[in-house]
Amino acid sequence: MYSIPPKDLRDLIGNILEEKLNQFHPEPRQTNENGEYLTRKEVCDLLRISLSTLHYYSKDGTLQSYRIGGRILYKTAEVENAVQEIQSTKYKHRGA
């Protein structure tokens, strides 16, 4: 049988919890001098949509995509604004 001092046990549990929580923490977002950008995967995870839906949103103009260095990126502020815009129009009643 092992005997672990309370401080060591607390440190061990803290390290395990920190490790597990880091698994749920999103990867750092890529930034540049023009603002913060999200990858396609990050946008899909954020909005809980598929890549094909994101492609459709880009094609129909709902979301603006940017090709930077061979990658397709989205501005964080524009994604958040598009979501707010959709939510605000979703619950408006249509006039008769």
Residue 48 lies in a domain: yes
- Residue 73 in any domain: the answer is yes
Domain residue limits at 82 = 37-90
Number of domains in the chain: 1
Taking only the tens place, the pLDDT of each residue in 67-85 is 988 899 999 999 988 887 7
Write the pLDDT tens digit of every residue in 45-62.
Answer: 988 899 999 999 999 998
Any domain includes 31: no
| Exposed / middle / buried, residue 39 (Cβ in 10 Å: 0-12, 13-18, 19+) | middle
Q: Count H helices and E strands in the chain, helices first.
A: 4, 4
pTM for the predicted model, two decimal places: 0.55
CATH number of residue 56's parent domain? 1.10.1660
| Residue 46 belongs to a domain | yes
Tokens linked to 88: 């605000």
Assigned domain for 3 exists: no
In a domain, 57, yes or no: yes
